[in-house]
């Protein structure tokens, strides 16, 4: 029996997925694939990771051997140039002619290049293929200023690529009045823009390019408003155009704006020819995401193997991390009142914007937008797609559930079995749960291999992990807590392994105990472990991803930095006050006394930071670690020294405690307070540890915090002397450092602890685990190795050299930083 021949034109992600799905369901076809590029299909979704060390082989979706094993003829570098529908024959560039029974067009799209004078100059690139990236990488080696034309998803990815290549002066040019106009609203776009500006990206909106300057190579962009931007290179990412030229030549119906017209079976105007992916036009829509392309591939496979599956308008919800900033939109994100009710949460300090749209009766979620914090995206998307009834307080969806982790887990497990968890691979909840229950798979890598869930864009991975944990819990199984997919250990286990093996850098940790290249979860977590163990200078750890740690200062609005010297207990001499004033005047800094009894100086240029700190350190100041996951302050009242109600000297004790724990790195920031009496002027009960004087000694409170979810500290020990209190604090803090999850405040740590406060007391006070001596020794070792990080930087020329905005002009400051007057001081203009 002669097998029908299927020819696939295009070997991108969707073309490959079609082949993969077809061979998994049937061996009754002769499959031939023509690819234009010289390599087999690769992961275009994660293309920018090519600049982070991933090779073309790492991005490849398969091997040449896979095609051979499946009996698929693969012709690379040989695009089809003509389709003869009468004889059902294709003709390729290299002169090959083959007849088909069915033809699948998966030609994808090309980068849209606007018709601008000068577009052909050297230094102008598109951002589409690995070959494009190789050209960009080679040219960027001699470029100092780069621009990206296009402020959509691909444009911001391209901007990240330029930054990864070391071009710190990177600009994004967008014709529209806001970034990502198809995904987020004006308010969300504004928040995203401010976040990107803080990270050093320059954004230019409402800009139309009139021509590209330069003789043979680009030297500037000239705009219609007669302004110009000097640049060394330009990457065009202004949208895509469906590759439909071969379909047009064959006489197939195409849209007026491009795209091969298809029906719900993915058939073109010729019943034996199908089109899938970004070249296909369904009901006037080109789908530019990988998930609908995979669904189209599945539809065609169904049609060819006797099924009846049809394509329907596809959900375009998406979650991405753009240059380190979470961005997500889901459901009907743009519906407005009075057609719905809208709930908005906006935190300009942290750069977080959340908006949800709910039905007028408050029963159902319609859609929303998340900027800066998209942890809730997967569950919100499921709530929309499965029409789940909202809780009595819908604002909890974006402000945090009042039911805690248990209710969130229950929400995930209460999803219907047919809830689509992985849209890229069309994997539902039942498939994942049955893989855990029936096949015994209990880790994300196993689920990926078994179901392919999480192997596309990766956005569903957190939800898949929650389903694994929820199913195991329902089955009464032990749940192993792992740091991320690159480490099969919890933070606590990894902490112990790093200590036992005396490992002192991230690469060795990954080599010994992990796999892959690491990620944004494990890199800062491991860096925190290394800092907590060895107390080395944080700026020597290249794997730290937080820009605040990188420059030992918090980056603020307008691209400036803050300077926060340590003022233990809030006590400061007149001479030191004068020095702060002199520094602030010399560098034009905005000054403010904080709630933590410190003086913050805002508006410092990156270049000025070492000089500023040199003066402060000479005057006796130290780094305040305001930028780090470390002890910030120990707030105090004036105590018995001045107050007529004070029982003990709270100022001296606060200084003693702050001097003891300063510089010690932890899973999250730490704050303390010491009050001289029960009137509690230092607000000690709202701190990670609080000390309150009593007539018989001191009371110790632990695990409180302020923030978006404030929680009072709980009474831990009563009427104890100073020596005992410090001993308990040593044990408590060291136990927290060793056992807390990454980025967990002490309150969250205690809330999740089996046995709660009673267990913590038993460990720290009663030494139930027999580790208190070890905890005290480890804390003392950290205390003994304290160093002021800024002092080390200003004394080390190599470290000091990092603090420049322009590598080739170290003295030049960021010209985009501007200030405006405010109450006899200045603030950043942004």
DSSP string for 151-169: -SHHHHHHHHHHHHTT--E
What is the pLDDT at residue 378? 85
Respond yes or no on whether the N-terminal peptide bond of residue 338 is cis (omega within 30° of 0).
yes
- Cα(93)–Cα(75) distance, integer angstroms: 11
The closest of 110, 168, 118 to 140, measured between CA atoms, is: 168
**609 class by beta-carbon count within 10 Å (0-12 exposed, 13-18 middle, 19+ buried):** buried
Mean pLDDT of the 240-254 span: 95
The reply to whether 5-109+242-304 and 124-238 are identical in fold is: yes
Mean pLDDT of the 480-485 span: 77
Percent of the chain with pLDDT over 90: 51
The three-point CA angle 325-329-330 to 5° equals 145
Domain 629-786 is found in CATH 3.30.413.10 = yes
The three-point CA angle 233-237-238 to 5° equals 120
Find out whether 351 and 195 touch, Cβ atoms under 8 Å: yes
How many beta carbons lie within 10 A of that of residue 84, not counting itself?
12
What is the pLDDT at residue 369? 94
Please report, for the chain, the start and end positions of each structural domain, with discontinuous segments joined by +: 5-109+242-304, 124-238, 563-623+788-830, 629-786
128: number of CA atoms within 13 Å, CB side?
18
Q: Which are the contacts of 58, defined by CB distance < 8 A and separation ≥ 6?
A: 49
522 is in an annotated binding site: no
- Cα(717)–Cα(779) distance, integer angstroms: 20
What is the pLDDT at residue 409? 42
What is the pLDDT at residue 557? 63
Mean pLDDT of the 189-200 span: 86
19 is in an annotated binding site: no
Give, as one character, the DSSP assignment of residue 565.
B
Q: Look at 154-168, 296-310, 362-376, 652-666 and tell me which has the smallest mean pLDDT.
A: 154-168
392 vs 253, more confident: 253
- Count of residues for the chain? 830
Give me the CATH topology for the region 5-109+242-304: FAD/NAD(P)-binding domain (3.50.50)
The closest of 569, 623, 566 to 599, measured between CA atoms, is: 566
For 73-91, what is each residue's pLDDT tens digit?
Answer: 999 999 999 999 999 999 9
For 787-797, what is each residue's pLDDT tens digit?
Answer: 898 898 899 88
- Cα(110)–Cα(296) distance, integer angstroms: 19
What is the pLDDT at residue 558? 66
For 55-68, what is each residue's pLDDT tens digit?
Answer: 788 889 988 999 99
Q: Kindly tell me if the per-residue pLDDT of 51 is higher than 80.
A: no
Mean per-residue pLDDT over the chain, rounded: 88
What is the pLDDT at residue 407? 39
What pTM was computed for the model?
0.62
Q: Which two tokens stand for residue 258?
A: 């491009």
At 21, the pLDDT band (50, 70, 90 cuts) reads very high
Beta pairing class for 124-126 and 145-149? unpaired
Mean pLDDT of the 809-822 span: 76
What is the pLDDT at residue 204? 94
Class of domain 124-238: alpha beta
- Cα(34)–Cα(95) distance, integer angstroms: 12
The H-or-E segment that residue 86 falls in is none
The H-or-E segment that residue 583 falls in is helix 574-587
CA–CA distances in Å: residue 72 to residues 4, 19, 297 = 13, 8, 17
Give the E-state strand segments of 106-232 in sequence order: 109-111, 124-126, 145-149, 169-173, 201-204, 209-213, 220-223, 228-230
135 vs 407, more confident: 135
At 128, the pLDDT band (50, 70, 90 cuts) reads confident
What is the pLDDT at residue 408? 41
Q: Look at 73-87, 481-495, 787-801, 810-824 and tell me which has the smallest mean pLDDT.
A: 810-824
The closest of 237, 222, 226, 251 to 288, measured between CA atoms, is: 237
What is the pLDDT at residue 517? 78
How many beta carbons lie within 10 A of that of residue 187, not counting itself?
15
677 is in an annotated binding site: yes
For 430-453, what is each residue's pLDDT tens digit?
Answer: 999 999 999 988 888 889 989 988
């Amino acid at each position: 029996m002669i097998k029908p021949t299927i020819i696939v034109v295009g070997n991108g992600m969707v073309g490959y997925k079609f082949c993969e799905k077809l061979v998994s369901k049937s061996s009754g076809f002769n499959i031939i694939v023509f690819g234009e590029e010289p390599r087999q299909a690769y992961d275009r979704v994660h293309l920018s990771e090519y600049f982070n060390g991933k090779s073309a082989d790492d991005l490849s979706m398969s091997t040449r051997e896979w095609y051979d094993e499946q009996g698929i003829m693969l012709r690379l570098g040989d695009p089809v140039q003509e389709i003869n529908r009468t004889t059902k024959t294709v003709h390729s560039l290299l002169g090959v002619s083959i007849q088909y029974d069915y033809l699948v067009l998966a030609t994808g799209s090309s980068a849209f290049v606007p018709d601008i004078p000068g577009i052909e100059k050297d230094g102008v690139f598109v951002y589409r293929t690995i070959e494009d990236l190789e050209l960009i990488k080679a040219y960027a080696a001699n470029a100092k200023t780069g621009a990206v034309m296009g402020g959509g998803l691909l444009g911001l990815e391209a901007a990240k690529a330029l930054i990864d290549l070391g071009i710190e002066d990177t600009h994004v040019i967008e014709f529209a009045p806001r970034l990502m106009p198809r995904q987020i609203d004006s308010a969300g776009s504004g928040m995203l823009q401010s976040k990107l500006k803080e990270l050093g990206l320059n954004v230019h909106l409402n800009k139309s390019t009139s021509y590209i300057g330069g003789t043979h190579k680009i030297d500037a962009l000239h705009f219609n408003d007669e302004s110009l931007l000097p640049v060394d290179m330009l990457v065009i990412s202004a949208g895509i155009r469906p590759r439909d030229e071969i379909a047009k030549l064959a006489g197939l119906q195409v849209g007026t704006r491009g795209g091969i017209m298809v029906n719900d079976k993915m058939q073109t105007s010729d019943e034996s020819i199908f089109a899938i992916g970004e070249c296909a036009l369904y009901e006037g829509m080109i789908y530019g995401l990988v998930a609908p392309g995979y669904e189209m591939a599945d539809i065609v496979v169904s049609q060819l193997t006797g099924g009846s599956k049809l394509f329907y308008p596809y959900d375009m919800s998406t979650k991405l991390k753009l240059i380190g900033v979470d961005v997500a939109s889901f459901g009907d994100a743009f519906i407005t009142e009075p057609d719905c009710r809208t709930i908005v949460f906006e935190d300009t300090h942290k750069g977080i914007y959340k908006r949800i749209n709910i039905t007028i009766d408050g029963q159902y979620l319609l859609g929303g937008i998340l900027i800066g914090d998209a942890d809730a995206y997967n569950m919100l998307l499921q709530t929309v797609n499965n029409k789940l009834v909202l809780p009595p307080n819908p604002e909890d969806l974006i402000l945090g559930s009042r039911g805690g982790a248990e209710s969130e887990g229950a929400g995930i497990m209460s999803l219907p079995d047919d809830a689509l968890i992985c849209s890229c691979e069309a994997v539902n909840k039942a498939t994942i749960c049955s893989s855990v229950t029936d096949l015994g798979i209990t880790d994300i890598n196993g689920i990926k291999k078994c179901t392919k869930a999480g192997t596309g864009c990766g956005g569903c991975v957190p939800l898949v992990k929650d389903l694994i944990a929820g199913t195991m819990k329902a089955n009464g199984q032990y749940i192993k807590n792992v740091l991320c997919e690159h480490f099969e250990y919890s933070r606590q286990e990894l902490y112990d392994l790093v200590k036992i093996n005396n490992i002192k850098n991230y690469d060795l940790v990954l080599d010994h105990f992990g796999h892959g290249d690491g990620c944004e979860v494990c890199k800062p977590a491991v860096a925190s472990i290394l800092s907590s163990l060895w107390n080395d200078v944080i700026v020597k750890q290249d794997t730290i991803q937080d820009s605040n740690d990188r420059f030992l200062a918090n980056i603020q609005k307008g691209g400036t930095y803050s300077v926060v010297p340590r003022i233990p207990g809030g006590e400061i001499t007149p001479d030191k006050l004068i020095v702060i004033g002199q520094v602030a005047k010399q560098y034009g800094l905005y000054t403010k006394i904080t709630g933590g009894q410190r003086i913050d100086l805002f508006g410092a240029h990156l270049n000025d930071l070492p000089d500023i700190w040199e003066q402060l350190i000479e005057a006796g100041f130290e780094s305040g670690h305001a930028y780090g996951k470390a002890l910030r302050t120990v707030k105090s009242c004036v105590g018995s020294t001045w107050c007529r109600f004070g029982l003990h000297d709270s100022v001296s004790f606060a200084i003693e405690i702050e001097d003891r724990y300063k510089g010690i790195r932890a899973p999250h920031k730490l704050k303390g307070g010491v009050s001289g009496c029960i009137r509690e002027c230092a607000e000690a009960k709202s701190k990670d540890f609080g000390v309150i004087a009593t007539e018989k000694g001191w009371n110790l409170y632990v695990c409180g915090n302020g923030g978006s979810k404030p929680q009072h500290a709980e009474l831990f020990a009563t009427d104890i002397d100073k020596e005992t209190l410090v001993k308990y604090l040593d044990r408590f803090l060291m136990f927290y450092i060793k056992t807390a999850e990454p980025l967990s405040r002490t309150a969250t740590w205690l809330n999740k602890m089996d046995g709660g406060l009673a267990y913590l007391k038993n460990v720290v006070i009663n030494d139930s685990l027999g580790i208190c001596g070890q905890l005290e020794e480890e804390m003392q070792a950290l205390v003994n190795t304290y160093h002021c990080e800024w002092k080390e930087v200003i004394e080390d020329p190599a470290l000091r050299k990092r603090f420049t905005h322009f590598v080739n002009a170290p003295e030049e400051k960021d010209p985009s930083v501007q200030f405006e007057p405010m109450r006899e001081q200045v603030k950043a203009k942004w």
